[in-house]
Amino acid sequence: MAGQIIGYTVLAAFALFVVILVTRALLLKKPQKEDSDYKPRDIDAGAVAEKLAGAVRIRTVTLPDNDSDGSVFYEYQAYLEKTFPLIASVAEKTIVNKYAVIYKVKGTDDSLLPAAILAHQDVVPADPEGWECDPFGGEIRSGYVYGRGSQDMKSQMIAALEGLEILLKEGKVLRRTLLFCFGHDEELRGTYGAYEISKHLESLGVRLEYVIDEGGTILDGKLLGIDNKIALIGTCEKGYADYILEVAKDGGHASAPTPRTAVGMLAEAIYKVEKHKMRPFWTKPTKEMFAALAPYMNFGFKLALANRDILSPLMKPLLCVVSPFTNCLMRTTLAPTQAEGASTPNTLPGVARGTINARINTGESVESVQAHIQKVVGKKVRITTLEGSIDPSPVSDTSSEAYAKLKKTIGEVFSGYIVAPYPFIAASDAKHYYNLTDNVYRFTPFEKSVEDANRIHGLNERQDIAMLAQGTQFFLRLYENTCL
């Protein structure tokens, strides 16, 4: 009898537990849609495409250092000023650290903090081999602008400028000052460009209302159990570090190998790094992301996320295997990318080296990740970091008016899409601007297929012209919502 009572008690407790889980999920409601008077303008997509094509034709490949000849960036800036004459006629131009540039369009209300739109002038190199067209030809065909930088990120720069040019053409006058801040070395961490721009503005006592840069994305929500498109705003970005693993052993001829070789020990160390991944955990941006998306998910996902605090021990490892994207959201990733041994196939090298590329999660650091790797591989492997390592950025405010206006703008231009914050898993110039504002956001206002996304930094990079026009609508509306 006592056993039956215990059994019924356990069953009742379990039933109550399930009821609580389900109730918490049912209480998640979609927020009400905001009223909006937004009516999209007619954008001359062909004209904007021609402007982008002209920008692509100027070979603004990232300089190896700031002492190299960067006169091509002056040519590029002259092109922008010719292409957007109304902006050029009212903007104050400032060159920073030789090749970076600020275009300041002054507003009428000095009580409003300025806004900053970021973009980088530089592009990665492009070997013509394998391309369907000249990578710097700016060819327009089949609804696309082809060429290096057409996506990353001259399209966003051209759309941002075109949006303001249209408003100026209509006779609109900005109340809020608008800064276009264009670095020239984002592909090499932005040390000479964005960093120096932010320091220059700081030296002038400038504070900003918000910063918008590339980074957030639009994706299909089915991955997360949502039957809709999702527009993600990057509120932070991961840190970055390249760790060099080095093993030193006696070298010699491969015909008489020692019991342990430098290459063998290096291979073992790399295997251990891959096997012993860093722990997954909930960060502020991942919590905010899933909290914003949960009301739109199918019931299974909603049930899990409404009870994240209870089901976390199950959810964290599950999200790490659902997809590479969700894995990146939950932990620091460690990717072996390079290995080096002897220069000839029949030689035992005295030193073997390998590289681990780390994208460091919010809450961890370059130092703590190195300590993890050292613990995993043991003391016989020497670990150093390459220059350019940087800790994760701060997390931007999602309760600010600036975030609300950005979210509203995205919802208007990309009608019906679900907007949410998220941790940007790559790098951008935006990380250098937290000294000027807490409202640093990353959003790329172009829908793109997986195929086209994979063309960035690769062969046949191209920008969809229809999406270019929609991106122009986005910036135009952003200025209306925040600067007029």
Alpha-carbon distance values, 189 to 59, 286, 322, 386 (Å): 19, 24, 30, 13
Q: Any idea which residue has 């390998």 for tokens?
A: 354
Taking the CA atoms of the chain, what radius of gyration do you get in angstroms? 26
Q: Any idea which residue has 């957007």 for tokens?
A: 84
CA angle 108, 440, 295 (to 5 degrees): 115
The continuous run of DSSP H or E covering 354 comes out as strand 351-360
CB 379 within 8 A of CB 191: no
Catalytic residues: 122, 186
Burial of 113-139, coded b for 16+ CB within 10 Å and e otherwise, reads bbbbbbbbbbbbebeeeebeeebbebb
Q: Which residues, 6 or more positions from 482, have their beta carbon under 8 angstroms from its beta carbon?
A: 115, 176, 209, 210, 402, 405, 409
Q: Name the residue type at position 449.
A: S
Burial of residue 398 (CB within 10 Å: 0-12, 13-18, 19+) is buried
Tokens of 108: 């009428």
Strand pairing of 239-248 and 351-360?
Answer: antiparallel
Q: Any idea which residue has 């914050």 for tokens?
A: 421
Looking at the DSSP assignment, which residues form a beta bridge with residue 253?
347
Q: Which residues, 6 or more positions from 267, have their beta carbon under 8 angstroms from its beta carbon?
A: 339
Give one DSSP letter per residue of 197-214, joined into a string: HHHHHHHTT---SEEEES
Burial of 322-332, coded b for 16+ CB within 10 Å and e otherwise, reads eeeebbbbbbb
Cis peptide before 315 (omega within 30 of 0): no
